[in-house]
């Protein structure tokens, strides 16, 4: 028995070594990555809401110094290992446009600029999905001047709405 134990251990080690060198097919790798990077949308909003009241700061991307709109969105999604553009203008060509009935918690809402509808100027995250009556969390440079929740259908945002996209599928 004592002579067979080292042989068995050697065979066991060889078995593990051979398995660790097997190639993983691209499909299997992709499935593994998707399962690792899947985002729980409720958790995402819970995380975002802990920053309610954080001051607005142009160019800001951290809670201690404050956020601008894209800095806030980038910060929230980065916590869930999703890299998004740092500038709101970069969202113009990003993602597939969703119909209002397709809006989900965790989708990103993209807006035109406040005074200029020729460029993108603001982004936020859907926190209550209800089509064009959805509510979204964002870093507002407006009256609130902090991270706040607003209604998409309000006079301040409805006319500036550009699109809503699901960034978890990019």
Q: What is the pLDDT of residue 39?
A: 79
Going by the DSSP 8-state scheme, the letter that residue 94 receives in this structure is S
User: Is 27 part of any domain?
Assistant: no
- Please tell me the least confidently modeled range out of 30-44, 47-61, 117-131, 140-154: 30-44
Cα(3)–Cα(98) distance, rounded to whole angstroms? Answer: 68
Beta strands at 66-67 and 61-62: parallel, antiparallel or unpaired: antiparallel
pLDDT higher for 76 or 39? Answer: 76
Residue 169's pLDDT is 83
Q: How many separate domains does the chain show?
A: 1
Say how far apart CA 105 and CA 56 lie, in whole Å.
23
Greater model confidence, 11 or 152: 152
Q: Structure tokens of 170?
A: 């990019």
Report pTM: 0.77
Segments forming the whole domain that contains residue 125: 39-169
Joined tokens for residue 147: 């991270």
Q: Which residues contact 3 (CB under 8 A, 6 or more apart)?
A: none
Considering the chain, what is the average pLDDT of its residues?
A: 83
Instruction: Kindly state whether residue 162 falls inside one of the protein's structural domains.
Output: yes
Q: Is residue 70 one of the residues assigned to a domain? A: yes
- How many other C-beta atoms lie within 10 A of the C-beta of residue 89? 15
What is the arithmetic mean of pLDDT over 16-28?
Answer: 34
Smallest CA-to-CA distance from 60 within 122, 123, 139 is with 139
Percent of the chain with pLDDT over 90: 72
Q: Determine the Cα–Cα distance for residues 47 and 92; give it in Å rounded to an integer.
A: 25
CATH number at residue 150: 3.90.1720.10
User: Is residue 125 assigned to a domain?
Assistant: yes
- pLDDT given for residue 170 in this prediction: 80
Which tokens sit at 60?
A: 């800001």
Q: What would the mean pLDDT of 16-21 be, rounded to a whole number?
A: 35
The answer, yes or no, to whether residue 21 has pLDDT greater than 80, is no
| 25 domain-assigned | no
Q: List, for residues 141-153, the tens digit of each pLDDT value.
A: 999 999 999 999 9
Q: What is the pLDDT of residue 2?
A: 52
Q: What is the pLDDT at residue 17?
A: 37
For 103-141, the pLDDT digits (tens) are 999 999 999 998 888 899 999 999 999 999 999 999 999
Structure tokens at 114: 């406040």
Structural domain contains residue 111: yes
Domain-located, residue 20: no
Spatial CA neighbour of 86 closest among 112, 120, 37: 120
**CB within 8 A of 39, min separation 6: which ones?**
77, 80, 82, 106, 168
Which pairing describes strands 108-112 and 147-151: parallel, antiparallel, or unpaired? unpaired
In a domain, residue 104? The reply is yes
pLDDT for residue 28 is more than 70: no
């Amino acid at each position: 028995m004592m002579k067979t134990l080292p042989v068995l251990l050697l065979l066991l080690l060889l078995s593990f070594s051979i398995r660790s060198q097997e190639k993983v097919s691209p499909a299997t790798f992709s499935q593994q990555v998707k399962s690792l990077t899947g985002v729980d949308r409720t958790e995402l909003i819970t995380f975002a809401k802990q920053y309610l009241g954080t001051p607005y700061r142009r160019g800001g991307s951290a809670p201690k110094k404050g956020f601008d709109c894209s800095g806030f969105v980038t910060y929230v999604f980065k916590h869930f290992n999703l890299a998004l553009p740092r500038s709101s203008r970069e969202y113009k060509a990003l993602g597939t446009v969703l119909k209002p009935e397709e809006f989900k918690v965790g989708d990103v809402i993209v807006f035109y600029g406040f005074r200029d509808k020729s460029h993108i100027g603001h982004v936020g995250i859907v926190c209550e999905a209800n089509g064009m009556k959805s509510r979204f969390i964002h870093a507002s440079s407006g009256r609130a001047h902090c991270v706040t929740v607003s209604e998409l259908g309000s006079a301040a945002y409805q006319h500036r709405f550009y699109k809503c996209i699901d960034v978890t599928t990019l």
